[in-house]
Structures are given as structure tokens and as C-alpha cells.
Amino acid sequence: MVRGEQQTSPWVWEAKDYLERVIRITVTFNEGTRAITGVTGFRDSGCLYTKILIGTSADGVPDDTDKVVNVPTGTTSLTQGQINQLAARGLATIENILALQITAGR
Amino acid sequence: MAPVVDAASPAIATNTTSANLTTGSFNPPACLLVVELGGDGAGNMTPTISNNGTALTWSNRSERDLGDAGAQSGHSSIHTAELTSGRTGMTVTAALSGTGAGAKALKVYCVTGYDSADPVGNAPGEGSSTTNSITPTIISAVESANSLLFVVANDWNQLGTPASSDLTIDTYNISGSISGLMGRKAGPGSAGSSATANLDAAGSSAPAWNWASVEIEPAGGTTFNQSVAGTVTPAGAVVRQPGKALAGSTTPAGALLRTAGKALAGAVTPAGALTRQVAKVLAGTVTPAGVLAVVKAVLRSFTGSLTPAGVLARRPGKALGGAVAPSGAAARSTAKTFAGAVSPAGALATIKAVLRSFAGTVTPSGALVRQAGKQLASSTTPAGTLVRRAAKTLSGALTPAGALGTVKAVLRSFAGSVAPAGVLGRRVGKALTGAVAPTAVVVKLLARTLAGTVAAAGALAKQQTKTFTGAVGPAGGVAAAVVATPPPSVVPRPNTGTVTRPDSGVVHRPFTGTVTRP
């Protein structure tokens, strides 16, 4: 996609540690309703980052956010219940996610 | 040593709005914090970097946005701050203000091994381009060899996740806004050289690159990378050298402790002892000056298998082109093939020589006690007693100087077998050309042919039938009757008087008087 275009499904975000080991999140969503339909995490073995931090706490600290996706080594898909939990915390659509900062934590 | 990025460095952080952007918490050691910031904006942007806890002094080292002539939209900048002691739970925050300020990407590196007196090189770089894949000069002249170069490149056209062929990078692709990369690479090997970096936008369309770069200097001192083209002459011992290829010769002054996998084109002349040599292939000669204390050499260059039928005790094979002259005793010599002469100076204490060069098998029917076959072309003159002689063929004369103590000589030169019908006591056949003069009684039967006279000094105990041409004059008594049959023409001669031969009958000769033969 290019500047100004609306995000299409899937949306992918990743970070690398100092040895270039990857942690990644892939979010699928309904391009019409923009509702999140799936969340999958991937993490290289040994990657120092273990979780995706979406948003911050009230004092601006990402580690204190309540919107956390823990990512074990390998590929992990969130259950519908976990997706619903994220939705309950304000992440129901892709724009909900894109509106917040994203980083990875240990 | 070049600066390095520490593992404590936090992950990239991104957002899609103009709000401040904060990293996750991290626990840095004492280090130089290098911050790369990429952002949306359509004017001369103002970046601000801060941190939680005790504030550090942040320096803006390089920046590129529309505030610079020839720049593209969007913002790229690099900032540094020195952290003199480690912290826990640290965060770094970036703010970007100006026209069209919006989405941002923030990456913090904890760098150790930097020059604390002068951490940043004096020629930072910046630039812009609309070329999709470009490799611009990011530093015109590095200040030091072994420095670490940092680059941030922002694509305001957001073509997608970019790549680089020579940078270690983190990337960002923020929906509907910006994309870009944050990377690092090692500086060139010599001061004064320029440095480039590849920036490869997604797809093939024209990006809107703005990039900024800095050089982080290494810690104090100068490190040189040197290629050695000539010879290597270590003064000390070579402790461990795996996989080193040399074009010249190697002359270590000390002992070679361990050398594995070393290919040499020249000669090797160690001055010390060779303690262990494994798998060494040489094209030149090896001339050790010291003693080979323990030599275990395994040479294997065959393609098939080696299956000895017998026991291999120890057989070192040595091929010699010249002469071998050991000064000491040869204790053990097995399977030695040589072209020159062998002249041992000392005595051969124990000789066990086994020569086997035949194709068939040897099956002796009897015991082989000890048989030494020696062929002599000249004469043999033993000075001492011959105790044992077996199977000796002489073409010359045999002249023993001493007495024959016990002679057991068996001469057998006939083709058939010997089967005596009677008992063989002891018969000595002796061919004599001179006289035989026994001083003692002849007790055994002798069959003897004499050409000369027989003069027995002792009594004749046994009867003898003797035909002789000469006279018989025993000095002692005649125990046995002597029967003599004179030929008819012979008339016994009395001692005195006249003897008349009778026509018949026996004429006994009187000792005295006359005999008239009837």
C-alpha cells in the first residue's frame, strides 16, 4: 500500500532484537466492518522480546498497558476468547490498534 | 575494537499519530544511547528526545527534512546521549512537532566500546532521493578505522517495508503514512575512507527518501587490520593455529605444541623437538634439528583396506637411499630395505632375521633347531674348537689348528637311503698315506691295508690273519698259534745244520741237529 491508502488485511508488525531475532504479530480483519477476526503471534527462538505491547498506561508507560499479546516461541494464534478480551479492552477493529503506539517488551 | 550494540537495546516503537512515542522499558549498562527517529511531516520539523528518571543530555547529531534544501517530505534524525552508569526500567520518548507532524518510528541502541572523549565522528551525513534502490555515500570520510555507522532512512511515500543489502536493520511501515528503515554497519577499515549504505524501497515506484547518518568512534587506541604477505617468524611458541595458510616459510624458534590442519608451500625447519604432529601435508622437506622423542607416525594413503593375516607387532618401514651405519647395537630390525651397504660398528647382540621371499609355503617335517646357511667363497680357518657343524659346503680346504674334541660328522651325499643290516658300532675309515704306530694294545678289529711295515710293540691278543710281504718279528710271546702255510717251495730252515726235505709228511724242524727229508 502507499501513503494515504486504507490498511488492507492482514496487518503485520514486527521488531528484531540486537541479533535480528524476530517477534511478529499478524492481525486479520474484515475489510468491510474492520472487525478483527484473528490475531497470530510469531517469535524466533531466543528472541529477547516476548510480548507485543499495544498502547500505554495512563502514565505513558508501554509496559503497563492492559493490551498485551504474549508470544511464545514459534507461531501462536489467539483464541476467540482472547480476541474478545482484547476487544473488551478497546481493540475490536484494526483502527483501534492502529490508533495506538506499538512496541515489544521482555 | 569497534563499538557494539548491547542486548539491552529496546524494540522499535511506532505510532500513527502526532502523540509522543515511548519505548518499552529497558535496563541499559553504561553506554552511549543512539536514537534514530523517522517521522511524518511536511515542513521543517523539530524533534525532541527525552528519557524517564534523571534526564540525560541529548545531542541532535544529524537531521534531514524539508528544512533542508533538496530534501523530501518526512523527517529523519539521529540523537545521542551518554549514560555513564547503568539503569533499570529506563524509557526514551520522542516528540516531533512541525507542519504535518504525525506518525513516527523510534529505535534506541545501547552502544558500548565507544570513544567517550569523542564519541561521534566529525563528518555526519544526510541526503534525499527518489531512486527506489540507492547506495549513497553516508559518511564522506570516516574519522577512525573500526567505527560503527548508523543510518535512518524515511520514505514519505510509504511504498512498503524497505530492505538493505548491507545494513542490519529494523523496518517500519505505518499504514497510510510513512515507511522506512533504521540500521547500522561497520565502518571502513581505514580512516579517511568514505562509507556508503544501500537503501532499497519496496516495489519499484519512486520513494521519497530522507536519510541521516553518523559515525560512532571506537574506544581509545588504534586498531589495524593487517594482511601479512611475507614470512611469519614467531619468536615464541606457536600454541594453537587452526586453518592458517602460509605462502612463505615458517621458522618457529620455540617448540610446536600443536599444529592441526596446516598447509605449507615452503620448507619447515623447527629448531625444537616435535612433540606431536597430526595430519600435516608438506610439499617441501622436513629437517628436525632436535631428537624425535616419541614418534608415532601413521601413514595411510591407500584406497583399499588393509587386512593383515598375522599379528603386526611393530614394523616401521624405512626406505633408505644411502648407507646405514649405526654406532650402537641394533636391537631390533624388521623389514628394512636399503640400497646401500650396512656396516654396524658394534656387536650384534641378538639377531633374529627372518627372510621370506618365496611365493609358496615352507613345511618342514622335522624340527628346525637352528640352521644358518653360509656360503663361503674362500677358505675357513676357525681358531677354536668346532663344536657343531651342520650342512656346511666348502669349496676350499679345511685346516683345523686344534684338536678335534668330539667329532660327529655325518656326510651324506648319496641319493638313496642307507639301511645297514647289522649294528653299526663305530667304524672309522681313515685313509692314510703315512705310517700307523699304535703304542697301546689294539683291541678292536681293524681291516687295514698297509703299504709299509707293521711293528706291534705289545702282545697280540687276538688272532690275526695277515698277509704280508715283509718279515714278522714279534718281540713278545706268541700266545696264539701261528699257522703259516709256506708255499711248497719253501723249506723251513733249522737253526743249525742241514734240513733235508721229505717227500711226504711233515718235517718238524728240530731246534738242533739235522733233519733228513724222506
Q: Which residues of A touch B11 (CB under 8 A)?
A: 15-17, 23, 49, 103-105
Bigger pLDDT: B222 vs A13: A13
Contacts of A4 in chain B (CB under 8 A): 176
A17 close contact with B: CB closer than 8 A? yes
Reported as a single tens digit per residue, the pLDDT across B493-508 is 545 555 455 555 555 5
H-helix or E-strand containing B361? none
More confident site: B197 or B434: B197
> Residue B172 belongs to what H/E stretch?
strand B168-173
DSSP string, chain A: --TTPPP-S-EEEEEE-TT--EEEEEEEE-TTT-BEEEEEEEE-TT-S--EEEES--TTS-GGG-S-EEE--SEEEEPPHHHHHHHHHTT-SBHHHHHTS-EEEE-
Which residues in chain A have Cβ-Cβ distances shorter than 8 Å to B20? 60
Segment B445-458 shows an average pLDDT of 51
Tell me the mean pLDDT in the region A52-64: 96
Q: Do A105 and B11 touch (CB under 8 A)?
A: yes
pLDDT, average across residues B376-387:
53
Q: Is B24 in contact with A62 (Cβ distance < 8 A)?
A: yes
Whether residue B154 lies within 8 A of chain A, CB to CB, comes out as no
Give the best residue of B175, B179, B205 to mutate against chain A (max A CB count within 10 A).
B175
* Residue B175 banded pLDDT, cuts 50, 70, 90: confident
Q: What pTM did the predictor assign?
A: 0.56
Average pLDDT over residues B254-260: 50
Asked if the Cβ–Cβ distance from A20 to B168 is below 8 Å, we say yes
Compare CB distances from B13 to A16, A98, A101 and report the shortest one's residue.
A101
Contact residues, chain A, for B177 at CB < 8 Å:
3
pLDDT tens for each residue of B1-28: 799 999 999 999 999 999 999 999 999 9
Nearest CA in chain B to A46: B7
How many residues are present in chain A?
Answer: 106
Phi/psi of residue A81, each to 5°? -65, -40
pLDDT-derived band at A5, boundaries 50, 70, 90 = confident
* Cβ–Cβ below 8 Å for B25 and A17: no
User: Is residue B119 within 8 Å of B11, Cβ to Cβ?
Assistant: no
- CA-based nearest residue in chain A for residue B205: A2
Task: For residues B329 and B490, give the distance between their C-alpha atoms in angstroms, rounded to a whole number.
Answer: 81
Mean pLDDT (chain B) is 69
CB atoms within 10 A of CB B264: 20
Q: Which residue of B has its CA nearest to A60?
A: B22
B36 part of contact set with chain A, CB < 8 Å: no
Better pLDDT: B50 or B275: B50
Q: Are strands A36-43 and A22-29 parallel, antiparallel or unpaired?
A: antiparallel
CA angle, residues B7, B119, B219, in degrees to nearest 5? 70
Q: What is the mean pLDDT of residues B206-222?
A: 90
pLDDT band, very low/low/confident/very high, at B239 (cuts 50, 70, 90): low
A88 interface with B at CB cutoff 8 Å: no
Contact B158 A102 (CB under 8 A): no
> Cβ–Cβ of A103/B10 closer than 8 Å?
yes
Confidence at residue A2, expressed as pLDDT on a 0 to 100 scale: 80
| pLDDT at B84 > cutoff 50 | yes
On whether the CB atoms of residues B28 and B84 are closer than 8 A, the answer is no
Hey, is the C-beta of B91 within 8 angstroms of any chain A C-beta? yes
pLDDT score of B271 = 58
Q: What cell does B62 get? A: 544529524
Q: How far B268 CA lies from chain A's nearest CA (Å)?
A: 43
DSSP string, B431-453: --SS-----S---S------SS-
Q: Given a cut of 80, is residue A21 above it in pLDDT?
A: yes
- Report CA-CA distances (Å) from B114 to B3, B83, B190: 5, 12, 17
- Give the ipTM: 0.97
Strand pairing category for B21-22 and A51-54: unpaired
CB contact under 8 A, B24 and A99: no
Judged by a CB distance cut-off of 8 A, whether residue A58 touches chain B is no
Give tens-digit pLDDT for B124-163.
999 999 999 999 999 999 999 899 999 999 999 999 999 9
